[in-house]
Amino acid sequence: MDSVGPQLRHAGLNLENDPRETRHQVEIDVFGFWVFLMSDAVVFALLFALYGTMLGARAGGPGPTDEFKIGSAFIETLILLSSSLTFGMASLYLKRDHRPLRLMLWLALTLALGLAFLGMEIHDFVTMVSQGATAGRSAFLSGLFVLVGVHGLHVTTGALWIAVMLVQVATFGCDEKVEINLIRLSLFWHFLDAIWIAIFSVAYLQGLIPPGGNT
């Protein structure tokens, strides 16, 4: 009888009938990606700390209440959260259905939402720059551009990864390697959503605070 410890459970994994060696290898692969995400979380923690220390260093330039468009940021948040939902649906189809067309539909919708988020974010940055709020204007703006820009770079990487996975699913179907890559990608995408919620809460919500007051 095949006896192993607790099995790794994930929306995209369905390994009950697979050999023990396969389950063990998948657990190692996914755990290794978790380690990568934790190291990436440390990078973002440092960027949040940098932003916090630079918050008051405005050199007479604009602050959060001057530049942040809370309405636009809120829409971006809704878009990214919606993309997390669509990726969750893709994960469920990966586990339950294994029909590539339906899986690809949810992945394509996730990609479209990710690109919409990036488009709005780029528009916000272009608007700020056109108003003179460039990264070189003050330490505060430098910290903001780096924090949000690094997250945007991650989302761009995730969008490219989704595009690659669409090609892989169309070419190879839902074989084991494709499944593992999609599981890693789902972890990465949900991680980016969590980081954006932190950015929205720590940075953009400050735009609601009246100038010169914290009440």
CATH number, residue 148: 1.20.120.80
C-alpha span between 185 and 15 (Å, rounded): 19
Residue 135 lies in a domain: yes
In a domain, 127, yes or no: yes
Query: Is residue 109 a part of any domain in this protein?
Result: yes
What is the C-alpha separation between 25 and 134, in angstroms, rounded? 47
* Whether 61 contacts 133, CB under 8 Å: yes
Whole-number pLDDT of residue 84: 93
What is the predicted pLDDT for the residue at 23?
A: 53
Query: Is residue 73 scored above 80 in pLDDT?
Result: yes
Report if residue 13 sits inside a domain: no
Domain around 154: 20-208
d(CA 162, CA 189): 10
Q: Is residue 215 part of a domain?
A: no
**146 found inside a domain:** yes
Q: End-to-end alpha-carbon separation of the chain, Å?
A: 65
pLDDT > 90 in the chain, percent: 40
| 31 or 98, which is more confident | 31
- 10-15 average pLDDT score: 49
Residue 3 maps to a domain? no
Please tell me the predicted confidence (pLDDT) of residue 130.
Answer: 87
Is residue 201 included in any domain, yes or no? Answer: yes
Q: Tens of pLDDT along 124-146?
A: 889 888 888 888 888 888 888 99
Q: How many domains does the chain have?
A: 1
